């Protein structure tokens, strides 16, 4: 089985964006507030939005399951109030749940959190509990910078975040570190802000005792870890100068990296520098880079091809990257996949009984 740990619903029906436009317009003119949170999206419209995109690419590229969440740039936690974020988050998560219900063999849900600048992360616990307990989600996306590029909240290692971490541990769910859109003109959203967020989170973890306080807490740093693998020697040296333990002991029981790196040399470096046990397969399709690489004539985000072509990987290494490590990090994933299998078996037996 090939599990893609990083997918976003970037092909949503237009009604979702129309609602968001009305919701944000109402911040200046309350009379424009949407009359209902019912988006009017049919199941057929959801199918149509996926079958020519994510589902098509799953089939063509030979992947099986995508861990799926709302559009990352669409979270836009810096916009509006905490109530704006709460309402928008719930709507986006409910739409992901509908996707997973329609295609349980293809998608499993991860939730957006209702973050807002200056609002304690404890405010997210209710939605996290709802998504895990009621919707069957197996993780969350955590924005280390809800301000959208200005970094006004405490670092991820501050006790300000601890109530949320405590709930994550109780629920046995990891978080993918993922910023949203940038409102700082210095930082392009996908080309700079995303990678800044990944790198910054890693450095915050390195300089803290977070994992002494939460030894079972798990984070996935996407996009190959930002600058981290390329500068692994720098980070090892900083830890050494600070008289800290080696990174393998300090961080790598809790911090993992995905393969959203869109060229072969980058994946080769990732697989050479980062321990195999800490790499999770991912593509982020359909996401930040959608085109075909003229040097290879393949899509940039067809990351399975890169993993297949890393000569130094053994079959067991590939099994870990494609499947085993995701099952290890996402503690609820095994139960989800087993439940899906039992449902298919029950349906098959029911069909035979009717014959």
What pLDDT, on the 0 to 100 scale, is given for residue 82? 96
What pLDDT, on the 0 to 100 scale, is given for residue 36? 80
10 Å Cβ neighbour count for 53?
16
What pLDDT, on the 0 to 100 scale, is given for residue 2? 98
Query: Region 195-218: what's the mean pLDDT?
Result: 98
Q: What residues act catalytically?
A: 284
Query: Region 12-28: what's the mean pLDDT?
Result: 95
Indicate the burial class of 145 (C-beta count within 10 angstroms; 0-12, 13-18, 19 or more). Answer: buried
Residue pLDDT, tens place only, 27-60: 999 988 887 888 999 999 999 999 999 999 999 9
Query: Region 124-143: what's the mean pLDDT?
Result: 98
Q: CA–CA separation, 307 vs 183, rounded Å? A: 34
Query: Region 21-31: what's the mean pLDDT?
Result: 93
What pLDDT, on the 0 to 100 scale, is given for residue 341? 62
Q: CA–CA separation, 194 vs 83, rounded Å? A: 25
Q: Which has the minimum average pLDDT: 25-39, 96-110, 293-307, 322-336?
A: 25-39
Indicate the burial class of 144 (C-beta count within 10 angstroms; 0-12, 13-18, 19 or more). Answer: buried
What Cα–Cα distance (Å) separates residue 75 from each residue in 72, 83, 88, 248?
A: 6, 13, 8, 33
Where do the structural domains in the chain lie, given as residue ranges?
3-354
What pLDDT, on the 0 to 100 scale, is given for residue 348? 41
> Is 100 in contact with 339 (CB distance < 8 Å)?
no
CATH class of 3-354: alpha beta
> Is 185 in contact with 144 (CB distance < 8 Å)?
no
Instruction: Report helix, strand or coil for 68.
Output: strand
Omega of the bond prior to 235 within 30 degrees of 0, cis?
no
DSSP secondary structure code for residue 244 in this structure? P
- Whether 65 shows a pLDDT value over 70: the answer reads yes
Q: CA–CA separation, 338 vs 174, rounded Å? A: 19
Query: Region 320-339: what's the mean pLDDT?
Result: 96
Q: Which residues contact 159 (CB under 8 A, 6 or more apart)?
A: none
> Residue holding tokens 């499947």?
323
């Amino acid at each position: 089985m090939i599990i893609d740990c990083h997918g976003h619903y970037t092909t949503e029906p237009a009604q979702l964006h129309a609602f968001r436009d009305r919701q944000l317009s109402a911040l200046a003119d309350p009379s424009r507030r949407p009359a209902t949170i019912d988006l009017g999206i049919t199941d057929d419209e959801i199918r149509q939005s996926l079958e020519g995109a994510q589902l098509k690419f799953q089939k063509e590229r030979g992947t099986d399951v995508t861990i799926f969440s709302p559009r990352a740039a669409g979270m836009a936690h810096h916009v509006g109030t905490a109530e704006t974020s709460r309402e928008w988050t719930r709507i986006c998560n409910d739409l992901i749940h509908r996707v997973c219900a329609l295609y349980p063999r293809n998608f499993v849900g991860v939730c957006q959190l209702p973050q807002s600048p200056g609002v304690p992360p404890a405010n997210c616990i209710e939605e996290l509990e709802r998504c895990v307990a009621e919707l069957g989600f197996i993780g969350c996306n955590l924005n280390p910078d809800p301000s959208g590029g200005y970094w006004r909240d405490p670092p991820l290692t501050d006790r300000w975040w601890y109530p949320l971490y405590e709930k994550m541990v109780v629920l046995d769910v990891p978080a993918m570190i993922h910023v949203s859109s940038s409102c700082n003109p210095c930082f392009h959203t996908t080309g700079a802000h995303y990678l800044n967020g990944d790198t910054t989170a890693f450095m915050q973890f390195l300089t803290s005792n977070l994992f002494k306080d939460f030894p079972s807490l798990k984070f996935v740093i996407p996009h190959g870890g930002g600058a981290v693998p390329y500068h692994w020697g720098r980070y090892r040296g900083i830890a050494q100068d600070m008289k800290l333990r080696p990174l393998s002991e300090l961080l790598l029981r809790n911090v993992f990296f995905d393969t959203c790196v869109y060229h072969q040399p980058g994946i080769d470096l990732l697989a050479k520098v980062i321990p195999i046990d800490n790499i999770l397969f991912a593509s982020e399709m359909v996401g930040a880079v959608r085109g075909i690489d003229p040097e290879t004539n393949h899509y940039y985000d067809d990351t399975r091809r890169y993993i297949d072509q890393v000569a130094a990987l053994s079959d067991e290494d590939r099994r870990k990257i494609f499947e085993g490590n995701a099952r290890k990090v996402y503690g609820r994933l095994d139960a989800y996949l087993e439940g899906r299998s039992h449902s298919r078996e029950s349906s098959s037996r029911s069909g035979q009984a009717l014959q």
